[in-house]
Structure 1
Amino acid sequence: MTVPACEDCNKWLNDNFERPAHAAITKTLDECDVPLTYAETTALARWLGKTSLLLQHQEAKGIVPGDEDRRQRDCWEVATRLVRELRRGSELPDDLSIWMARADDTDGNAELSTSPRIYLPTTSGTGGLGGESVATSFGIGMRSGAMLCVQVAYHPLVDIAHPFEGSRFAIRLWPDPPAKFNIRNLPRLSTVGRRQFNSVFVRGAGHITLPLPDERVTCRPDVDPLMDFWTHWGRSMPVDEQSPETGSDHE
């Protein structure tokens, strides 16, 4: 995968993301039985966040060879803006969440009893805040043959109750990286578990206009976020904000 970048930008990526995360990436992919420190966990999270934004960048090449239509369909429009903000000195936003799991199609046995979905809405808040919530998943091979499963979601004005995090089958690395992290403490997902993890998020769950400053939406497994939000307010959902039929394919 490549994204057009000048020499200065390549140096910035190396100095701010690649080099600081090198030790943490090595320990994680080698499945070392040594906990990562807070600094290492933070560096790993920032590297995964940067990598996901570049993967979703509109100018990224080599993601799906020979399928440019799919490339344009799958990219995030917001990724370009977020990368620019990083380049200007900003940090990864708090509304960008990064989860990590470990899968092994041969020896893994961790999986959920069902295949839950989280439906991601578009939000509009005061002061021009909000936007479309999007998510992506990708894997990185580990030395043992297992797979490091990474899931990243950008969810402006939305809080997410991730079912794999709640079941301790995955860990959220961003925001608020854990003080310590040992990859061996994560159970190995089975083939079914890996597929469940990768298919948690469904895009396009309608539009929510938040009536108050600092108001947020909570997305829970298998719950329509629009209906849940307006039920919380004790009001009927506006016709123009009704979501598409639950279960429609927006992945």
Structure 2
Amino acid sequence: MAKGDCVFCGSPVSSQGEHVLPRWLFKRWGGQGPFTYYVGGKAIPKRNGDTQRDGLARVMLPVCGINSPANCNGWLDRTFEHAGKPQVRAVLDDLRRIEGAEVLAFARWVVKTLLLHAHPLAVNSEIGHLDIATSGSVLELPGAALPTMRSTDRFPDDLSLWMSVIDPDGAAVALPEFDRQLLPDVHRPDGGGGRSGATTLGFSLPNGRMVSFQLVFHPLIDIVNPFESLGWATRLWPNPPSDLDIADHPVLDAAGGRALTKWLATGGIGIGLQPGERWPNRPTGQAFRAVSER
């Protein structure tokens, strides 16, 4: 597939493609700023060395539109945006409790958005392409993953999404040290497996807090998020909760928010499995410890 081909169907894309963060979402940040962009925890400077931008970057991904018979842009709108938009506004803007089908639509919108935002071909208007080798924000899915998602309306297996709430000015939260989980590159003779990865995307809330979404692709690996076990994170995918009340969610402080990305270590080890096997969450003989930032 060429860089200009649709990531879902392979059709040529003549325009810039799909806005990963839709235009209606950008209205949340009208008049706000300045904005700073980070890759791998480091602020990305402009040519003049300044790290602050007045505007919010747009992220584009090659997705075909109305000029293509597949119209994958229209499919994204019908499948995710139409159902998710009211729920995203309810949660992020109104801090309203949602339940049942609303939670499902909200979770599906967030998974879709993080999947596209972390795609290797996504282009950030301020940063450009992200590099899989150097960025902790890119997910490398198997080549057939997105075309299969297009044809079935189903996300790839072994995707997990968690939500946490952070108050940058909140009181310190005592978090215990925990074993960092290693996610190896897993392969199976039947073609299953692949490279694990994680991406995080945060949004401001009207009460001064932030909501952080972490999407993890862990092919053929069973994982346990310690923040969920401790009550600081809510799992939204798979199996979304029956209700979601962001205003009543446990709140991490700034250091706790930074620690959210430190419970995983990816790459570096290749694991071969037998047909039907999965990689269990067990010691690997290599020690990883989360380091407190306090």
TM superposition score category, shorter chain reference: 0.7 to 0.9
Out of 161, 165, 168, the residue aligned to residue 102 of structure 1 is 165
Q: How far apart are 1:62 and its partner, in Å?
A: 0.7
Out of 195, 208, 222, the residue aligned to residue 145 of structure 1 is 208
Matching of residues 208-219 of structure 1 within 5 Å: 208-211=271-274, 213=276, 215-219=277-281
The match for 1:3 is 61
Out of 137, 145, 158, the residue aligned to residue 221 of structure 2 is 158
2:259 corresponds to 1:196: yes
2:104 corresponds to 1:46: no
Superposed CA deviations along residues 169-227 of structure 1, whole A, max 9, x for unmatched, are 001111111111211332111011001112222111512222352x32233xxx64x34
What residue identity is the alignment partner of 2:236? L
Q: Is the 8 A contact 2:139 2:199 kept in 1?
A: no
The match for 1:30 is 93
What residue identity is the alignment partner of 2:79? N
Distance in 1, matches of 2:194 and 2:166, equals 32
The match for 2:149 is 86
- Is the deviation greater in 75-84 or in 52-61? 75-84
Which has the bigger relative contact order, CA under 8 A and spacing at least 6? 1
Out of 66, 71, 82, the residue aligned to residue 19 of structure 1 is 82
Distance in 2, matches of 1:101 and 1:124, equals 31
Q: Is the 8 A contact 1:109 1:188 kept in 2?
A: no
> Would the alpha carbon gap of residues 41 and 110 (structure 1) be closer, same or farther in structure 2, given more than 3 Å must change?
farther
Give the structure with the larger helix fraction: 1
Q: Secondary structure at the match of 2:104?
A: helix
Q: How far apart are 1:69 and its partner, in Å?
A: 6.2
Q: Which runs of 5+ in 2 are unaligned?
A: 1-58, 66-70, 290-294
Q: Which runs of 5+ in 1 are unaligned?
A: 228-242
2:141 corresponds to 1:61: no
Task: Provide the identity percentage.
Answer: 32
Q: Is the 8 A contact 1:100 1:172 kept in 2?
A: yes
Distance in 2, matches of 1:29 and 1:172, equals 17
Q: Is the 8 A contact 2:60 2:122 kept in 1?
A: yes
Distance in 1, matches of 2:270 and 2:240, equals 30
Matching of residues 96-245 of structure 1 within 5 Å: 96-107=159-170, 109-114=172-177, 116-211=179-274, 213=276, 215-219=277-281, 224=283, 226-227=284-285
User: Please, what TM-score do these two structures have when normalized by structure 2?
Assistant: 0.69
What residue identity is the alignment partner of 1:55? H
